[in-house]
Structure 1
Amino acid sequence: MAERTIRIGSAHGLHARPAKLFTQEVSAVGVPVTIAKGDGAAVNAASILAVIALGIDHGDEVTLTTESADTGVLDRLEALLVADHDA
């Protein structure tokens, strides 16, 4: 199991476009991943509706958790979350 806390880089947070890119990448990694905003409940990171419902804004910290011991999975997802997709 691996876990990582990441600060969101998109200027407008995880709205539709960056959330779509993120959830597509989660689906592509092929292992279960959850995302939680702050101390909130974790949701399925492959679900665009669940991710958008978290209301994640620029600068918010989220925690990704996966059952995979391969930290490369979290590296790929972190790269998407720290990038500003609104620039």
Structure 2
Amino acid sequence: MAQRKATVAAEVGLHARPAATFVQTAQKSPIDITVAKLGGDPVNAKSILSVMGLDVRQGEMIVINADGEGAEEILDALAVIAETP
């Protein structure tokens, strides 16, 4: 299982547009992807309600996990989204 840590840079955190972009990108991959606050329980990264339910705010770190072919590439893309202001 591949993993990335990223610090959320968007002023609104991982909510609204950043969350939608994050989820839409995750949905493009056929593999299982989870996201969690650092030290928290992981949720399905392909579910907008689950991602927004994490209540990730600007400056908080998230952990993204993916398992399967193409995991490294999708994790890189999701980390870039999370770290984009």
TM-score (norm 2): 0.92
Question: Could you give the per-residue CA deviations for residues 21-71 of structure 1, whole angstroms, max 9, x where no partner exists?
Answer: 100000012211000102110000000000001000001000000112641
Runs of at least 5 residues in structure 2 that lack an aligned partner in the other structure = none
SS in 2 for 1:6: strand
Number of equivalences: 84
For residues 80 and 29 of structure 1, the distance between their equivalents in structure 2, rounded to whole angstroms, comes to 15
Give the AA of the match of 1:44.
N
Runs of at least 5 residues in structure 1 that lack an aligned partner in the other structure = none
Residue pair 1:35, 1:64 contacting (<8 A) in 2 also: yes
Alignment identity in percent? 33
Runs (4+) of structure 1 exceeding 3 A deviation are none
TM-score (norm 1): 0.90
